[in-house]
């Protein structure tokens, strides 16, 4: 079972989901939830590396300059499964399309 299927299954078992309409896309909501989790992991990793002024791989100041890109790449390529995506997915899915209705 892939992470999207697992997340959707988890969300459906935990909360009563709204009835889908044309503006609701489970994949889009899941992708956004995963992006949020990746951003969190990236920020966490940047803080871990902050005390290292030389760079982890001996690249010196240049490596330190690109540390944020390095941390973001690790966060995207590794699957940490912190549970953040699973916990925010139901809200993201439920609120899809609501921004269009606020102006009415």
Reported as a single tens digit per residue, the pLDDT across 57-86 is: 666 777 777 888 888 888 888 878 889 999
Q: For the chain, give the mean pLDDT.
A: 75
pTM of the entire predicted model: 0.62
- Please count the helices (runs of H) and the strands (runs of E) in the chain: 6, 0
Low-confidence ranges of the chain (pLDDT < 50): 1, 14, 17-18, 100-104
Specify burial of residue 34 (Cβ count, 10 A radius: 0-12, 13-18, 19+).
buried
CA proximity to 11, closest of 60, 70, 67, 84:
84
Extents of the domains making up the chain? 25-96
């Amino acid at each position: 079972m892939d992470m999207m299927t697992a997340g959707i299954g988890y969300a459906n078992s935990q909360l009563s989901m709204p009835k889908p309409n044309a503006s609701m896309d489970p994949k889009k909501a899941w992708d956004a939830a995963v992006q949020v989790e990746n951003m969190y992991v990236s920020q966490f990793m940047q803080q871990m590396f902050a005390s290292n002024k030389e760079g982890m791989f001996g690249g010196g100041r240049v490596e330190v300059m690109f540390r944020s890109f390095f941390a973001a790449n690790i966060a995207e390529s590794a699957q940490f499964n912190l549970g953040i995506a699973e916990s925010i997915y139901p809200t993201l899915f439920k609120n899809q399309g609501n921004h269009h209705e606020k102006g009415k």
